[in-house]
Structure 1
Amino acid sequence: MPSAEAAGKVEGMVELRILGPDDWPLWRELRLAALAESGPAFGSTLADWQGDGDREERWRARLTMRGSHNVIAFLDGHPSGMVSGVPVEGANSVELASMWVSPAARGRGVGDHLIREVERWAAQRHAETVRLSVRPDNTMAIALYTRHGFQDAEKLAALDPRGCRVMTKPLPRHPAR
């Protein structure tokens, strides 16, 4: 299957920034845009993060979740996508979460960069598996994840209370040094 780039779309210059707590305004900007544009794809809603939920300390806390890896992608200098990697308690696995690419940047390689960054981070943590949840009607995201080697994890699917499809990808094992 040809990639979006091979189909005539131009990738552009993608840069990634790993975020810390002081980057909360940038995370907030993209997260609110993601929830406004693709709300049903996420476990929380735009209303959850507006009004009383829109507080600096809450945004900072989100970026300092223990062991998390939060990344923003810039396409041609503009913030265009986001993702988090989150350790899964009691498992040698991480979760790819909060993934979103702005509509203007879709099909231009941003999602590919974000997925590869979470996989790189997961490998550094010696995780064996990356897992994610995706709405069954989000065909574009499912195609992206499948292209990156994610497959349905039937035994975990029943664990997702939102009715999401659970997908996993084993990471290559590296010999101990």
Structure 2
Amino acid sequence: MDAGVELVEVGPDDWRLWRELRHRALGEAAHAFRTTLAEWQGEGDREERWRERLAIPTSLNLVALLDRRPVGMASGFPEDDPDVVWLHSVWVDPVARGKGVGDRLVGAVVAWARATGAREMRLGIVEGNATAEALYARHGFRYTGEVNGILPDGVRRDLVMARPLNA
């Protein structure tokens, strides 16, 4: 299922690749993110901003390659609470969906989170995103009942899902 999928850790020097994927993600799946493409374009589209995003201490930033073509991304971020890490920026290009790319990305970030010593991994999911919900549920994430924020449309909510890391 995931033949030809390679995960590559990226850092500040890879900002152009990350920017390209993030722009594609926000353009293709605007309904799935709390931020908008407009927020990351124009004045917000500065090299230093992208480098800072990829230089968050003790974070993990992965790009998925399918047959050496970038088709997905995911990040893990530390939290103020050392027992909690967050899964962010998960996206898979439509041409690569159904090929195990999302599972590989989420699985790799969960493995990283365990290695940090954190006890819980959390993520924000836009309500109604059934495809993402199914992906996260396969990896042990469950809704907490918490709201992580309201989307730019002022209507939809970003809900919290979490999973223990000691299991």
Following TM superposition, by how much is the alpha carbon of 1:43 offset from its aligned partner in structure 2, in angstroms? 2.0
**Partner of residue 144, structure 2:** 153
| TM-score (norm: length of structure 1) | 0.87
Identical aligned pairs, as a percentage? Answer: 49
1:17 to partner: Cα distance: 0.6
Task: Choose which of 27, 34, 59 in structure 2 pairs with 1:68.
Answer: 59
- Describe the SS at the equivalent of 1:65: coil
Q: Kindly provide the amino acid, as one letter, of the partner of residue 170 in structure 1.
A: P
Compare the two structures and name the one with the higher strand fraction: 2
Determine the structure 1 residue equivalent to 2:165.
Answer: 171
Residue type of the partner of 1:66?
P
User: Match for 1:39: what amino acid?
Assistant: A
2:129 aligns with 138
Give the distance between the partners of 2:39 and 2:75, measured in 1 at CA: 18
Q: CA separation in 1, counterparts of 2:11 and 2:78?
A: 17
Q: Where does the alignment leave 5 or more consecutive residues of structure 2 unmatched?
A: 151-156
Task: Give the conservation status (yes or no) of the 8 Å contact 1:11–1:107.
Answer: no
In structure 2, what is the equivalent of residue 40 of structure 1? 31
Matches within 5 A, 1:1-80: 10-80=1-71
1:18-48 Cα offsets, whole Å, 9 max, x none, are 1111000110110000010111321211111
Equivalent pair of 1:84/1:98 in contact (CA under 8 Å): yes
Q: Quote the RMSD (CA, aligned, Å).
A: 1.2
The answer (yes or no) to whether the contact 2:34–2:126 under 8 Å persists in 1 is no
Aligned residues: 161
Q: Per-residue CA shift, 1:58-79, capped at 9, x if unaligned?
A: 1101101222111100011110
Structure 2 counterpart of 1:111: 102
Distance 2:115 2:134 in 1: 26
CA contact (8 A) 2:61 2:76 kept: yes
Indicate the SS of the match to 2:149.
Answer: coil
Shift of 1:91: 4.4
> Aligned partners of 2:35, 2:143: CA distance in 1, in Å?
23
CA–CA separation in structure 2 for the residues paired with 1:16 and 1:40: 25
TM-score by length of 2: 0.92
Q: Distance in 2 between matches of 1:146 and 1:161?
A: 21
